Amino acid sequence: MRIFVVLVFLGILASLGSALFYLMRDKGGSNRTVNALTWRIGLSVALFLLLLLANYLGWIKSTGFTP
């Protein structure tokens, strides 16, 4: 589970980086920046929902915060 979360997080960062690249290169001439940001949002929401489901099903355990 930990490896999957890291891979999805790296995909989110890659999508954000490609959006920045397309923003600088295309100068607003195409929709590639919007598409990359849409992928980033979709991956982020999917990761959040997966973590909620994994916690509910007991695949991961919440340790809480102890100061």
Return the number of other C-beta atoms located less than 10 Å from residue 6's C-beta: 10
Q: Which domain holds residue 46?
A: 2-56
Residue 64 belongs to some domain of the structure: no
Cα 7 → chain centroid: 9
Number of domains in the chain: 1
The answer on pLDDT for 12 being more than 70 is yes
CB 7 within 8 A of CB 28: no
Residue 21 belongs to some domain of the structure: yes
Residue 63 belongs to some domain of the structure: no
Mean pLDDT of the chain: 89
The answer on pLDDT for 53 being more than 70 is yes
Residue 28 belongs to some domain of the structure: yes
Residue 61 belongs to some domain of the structure: no
Q: What is the pTM of this model?
A: 0.80
